[in-house]
Structures are given as C-alpha cells and as structure tokens.
Structure 1
Amino acid sequence: MSGGLLLHLSAPMQSWGSPSQFGTRLTYPHPTRSGLTGLFACALGLARGSDLGELAALRYTVRVDRPGRLLRDYHTVGGGYPRERTVVTAAGGRRPLKEATLQSERWYLADAAFTVAVTGPAATATAVAEALRRPVWHPYLGRRSCPPAAPVLVGAADDPVAELHRLPLHREPDGKGATEVVFVHDTDPCTGRPPLTQVRDQLPTTGSRRFAHRPLWETLHPFTADQHAGTGTAWITALTAYTRT
C-alpha cells in the first residue's frame, strides 16, 4: 500500500550539498535525495550508520516555487594561534604557522522555496509525517545552519504529485499572467524523453558513505496569476486555506 506527503522547504538559506572538495562546498539548485533522507532521519532520531532502507523506498517530485539566488560564505579557520594549537594534519602533527590558516567557501541558496511531493510505502510515509510533527532532532535544510522558516510538513495526500498543481505557489506574481514553474522528478514522468541529467546524491542504505548517481527529469507547468500566493503573511493565509479544504 502506498502513501504520500507534501512538504514545504523555505528559509533565508538552504544548501543541498553537491560533490565538492574541502575548499569549496557547492549546492545543488534544489533539494537532494540525500538531503531529504537526512532531514527525515534527523526527525526520526536515527543515528549515523542506521539502516536507511525504508527511507530509500521514497520517491520525490520537487516543485521550484522560488529558485533563490546563490550566496557565497567565505570561511577561515586555524589562523592566529601558536604552533601547538594550529590545525591538526592528516599525519597527526600541526600545520606550520605560515600555512596555519585554512580558507574555504560555502555556497547557499538564499530566499529559495520548494514544495515536495513524497510517495512511497504507506507505513514509511506515516512514520515520517509523525516524526516531522514531533521531531527527535530539529530538521534543517541541508546544513545545520539552515533551519526551516516554516513547518516542513504540509500534510498527507493520496496523490501528492497531483496536489503540486493545486497547492498555493510561494511566489509573487510577475504581472505577466501565467508563469512556467519547474518540476524536478526522480522517476520518469512519462514524457518520453531521457533524463535531463544525473546527480550524485543517492545514499547507501548502510555502511559506506559513498554516494551513487540517479537520473532526474524536469517538466514545466503553467501557473496562473491567481495561483501565486505571494510571500509572508499572504502565503501563510493561502496555505492555511488550502489545508482546510
């Protein structure tokens, strides 16, 4: 038996990690499978190394309400200390003073908003919904420095992908009538086209932390001006009205 959920992910900053080296931590332009799995595992109270097999059965369709904009955060660590307190090297020693400062940059999505349809086994969907209502550990949007700006769980739905076309859009109207909104699918939406791209965000269920690739498809769907619920109080009012219908 299958079940479904609707989630909303918006915050001043989000970061959905893509393959990166230490010096530069990039973000994908939309929520990732690994990031959503981590969000659910956090709410469920699953420790690192737990079996994630049940969460691996979930499927996602992401509606891009607002793509946001890229924001770079410049970091330094380890400078200004005496040699005995500099950053530890891989060999167990200490970095010399002239190389003590490590620099890195971390990328975020600023002011982005996404609505996510989750489908999968009914028991798993129900457990995730209950966990999001009463999380063991606070959920975050990709990084712990990115708490959500609103409750993540919108509610359960028999057909959450269909509800993505009804749920108010967290975006201001642009005055041009209908807007084409991007939907990102991790299963073929029956377009007859091959995947648009592949992303490396598929977590193993246990053991190794090596990520695998998965295909993604994108579709465009028109939303009329009256489906744009705006932001702030206007959007909250529209969302509340939707959840009561």
Structure 2
Amino acid sequence: MSRGVLLHLSGPLQSWGGPKGGKVRDTYPVPTRSGVTGMLAAVLGRPRGSDIGDLEELSHLVRVDRPGKRVRDFQTVGGGLPKERTVVTAGGDRRGDALLFDSWYLADAAFTVALFGPDEVVAQVAGALRCPHFPPYLGRRSCPPATPVLIAESDEVEDLLLRMPLHRPKPQAPWGKEAPPVRVAYIAERAPAAEPGRPATRHVPDVGLAGRSWTSRPVWESHRSHPAEQCGGYGTEFVSTLTAWREGIAA
C-alpha cells in the first residue's frame, strides 16, 4: 500500500529541462524530478529559494502514455532595440546584439505520474493541486496542461497508475481479430520488484540542490503490455473516458 497522488501531464507542449543552460535549452524525454517538484512548489505558492525538503521526500513513478515528438523553437531576445534597451551583461554593460536561443519542447506528449510518500506531504500536495496558488505548468510557464493534473489521491496509487486509461488511441485490430496489446514504458526510482538486483538504466542529473546546483539520481526503465481496451482515446474522447473511470473508482 502506497499513499500518494496520481497526476496526468499532457498538453500541446512540454519542456523538462535539466541543469544545462546557455543558448540551447533542451528537454528530457520524460518529466524530471526537478520539474515536477517546481510545479508542486508553484501550486503551493512557495517563492523561489523556499525549502522544498518535504517535496523531495516524494518518490516518482512515470508512465509514458505518449512520448510525443521533439520540436525546436528558435527564439531571440532584445533584437531591433537600441543598445541602452538591450539585455544587461554580467559586467553591467548592455549587450547591444540580440540573444539567440534554440528551445526544445515535447509536442503532443502525455505522461501519468504517481507520487507517493509521507501522508502529510501527500495531503498538502493534493490540496494545493485542487486549489492552486499559482497555476501548474509542464516544465515551463509557457506550457499549460490541457487536462486536469490531479487525478486521484489514494492509498493504492501505484495500482491506480497501472489501471488508469491510457491517453492514446486504441490500436487498429487486424481483420477478424482483436486489437493487439500496447507496450508502455515506465520510469521508476527503484528496481522492479521482480528484479531487485537489476542495475539502474541510467542516471539523470535532475535533482535540485541549494544554490542552483544539481545531483543525479538512478532510474530504472521497464515496459509493460496493456490491453488495447485500456486505451482511452485522444482529446475529448480521453477526457470523457477518464471522467467515467474516476467516477468508477470513487464509487
């Protein structure tokens, strides 16, 4: 039994950047720990620099409903302005020229995330997601969610993660046969129960520390087959399917 909250993160664009900055602002292929923690701090109304030690106690388990597609947005800052109105440099002068950036996003991606941990932290997070101080966003403030973020608060959040409708269309069935199952990726912070000694798939530098520094965490990637009937569709079809499912688990 794991007390936690179930979140759904989907929208036209998402961007889950890591510790790298500069002129290329990349995105990880799945929601990062630091990105999700930042979203929770926002809905809780915590200003930059606040203590987030309680939020770091939450464990993360991500289901990749749709991986989306990487897209690039070419951006400029300060172009076409007199030097005195351009970006300030570290030395206090004005840059004069425009700043150029390549910003990367995930387009049309969808993830379902189980967060579990101490009861008081889970309850505080759930309450803030129901009535957020600041609106939640998908990695960047320019990336609002297209569906409800909080799906459920439960003592069996991992089980709900496995049973919740997938945000993807049902695969087409061959003539005269049933639709095939779909293969879904899971990103966990511990080894699968069936493989307790399995080494981590990779280490991701997405754990924020004081002073804008970072450290890495191990993650384990695994895959599960889900029946085609669990695919909840796309757009309003998925919202209708999800609403009916939520009413069913609340009954």
**TM-score bracket relative to the smaller structure:** over 0.9
Give 1:108's match in structure 2, choosing from 81, 105, 109: 105
* CA shift in 2, pair 1:167/1:226, >3 Å: same
* C-alpha distance in 1 between matches for 2:122 and 2:54: 10
**Structure 1 position 131 matched with structure 2 position 110:** no
Alignment-derived partner of residue 199 in structure 1 = 204
Alignment-derived partner of residue 235 in structure 1 = 238
- Write the deviation string for residues 28-84 of structure 1: whole angstroms up to 9, x where unpaired: 001111011111110111111111111010001000000000010101122222222
Give 2:229's match in structure 1, choosing from 221, 226, 231: 226
**Match for 1:180: what amino acid?**
R
Scaled by the length of structure 2, the TM-score of the pair is 0.92
Alignment-derived partner of residue 55 in structure 1 = 55
Question: Which stretch shows the higher mean deviation, 215-224 or 153-162?
Answer: 153-162
Cα pair 1:3 1:123 within 8 Å, conserved: no
Cα pair 2:170 2:228 within 8 Å, conserved: yes
**Match for 2:217: what amino acid?**
R
* C-alpha distance in 2 between matches for 1:43 and 1:153: 12
Alignment-derived partner of residue 184 in structure 1 = 187
* CA shift in 2, pair 1:2/1:169, >3 Å: closer
Cα pair 1:59 1:187 within 8 Å, conserved: no
**Match of 1:129, SS?**
helix
Residues paired across the two proteins, number: 240
CA displacement at 1:147 relative to structure 2? 0.6
**Structure 1 position 141 matched with structure 2 position 146:** no
**Match of 1:215, SS?**
strand
Q: Unaligned 5+ residue runs, structure 1?
A: none
Alignment-derived partner of residue 169 in structure 1 = 166
CA displacement at 1:87 relative to structure 2? 2.2
**Structure 1 position 32 matched with structure 2 position 32:** yes
**Match for 1:20: what amino acid?**
K
* C-alpha distance in 1 between matches for 2:211 and 2:170: 45
- Identical aligned residues as a percent: 50
Alignment-derived partner of residue 93 in structure 1 = 93
CA displacement at 1:95 relative to structure 2? 2.5
Scaled by the length of structure 1, the TM-score of the pair is 0.94
Q: CA RMSD in A?
A: 1.4
Cα pair 1:15 1:141 within 8 Å, conserved: yes
* CA shift in 2, pair 1:17/1:56, >3 Å: same
**Match of 1:169, SS?**
coil
Cα pair 1:8 1:154 within 8 Å, conserved: yes
* C-alpha distance in 2 between matches for 1:200 and 1:143: 18
**Match for 2:161: what amino acid?**
L
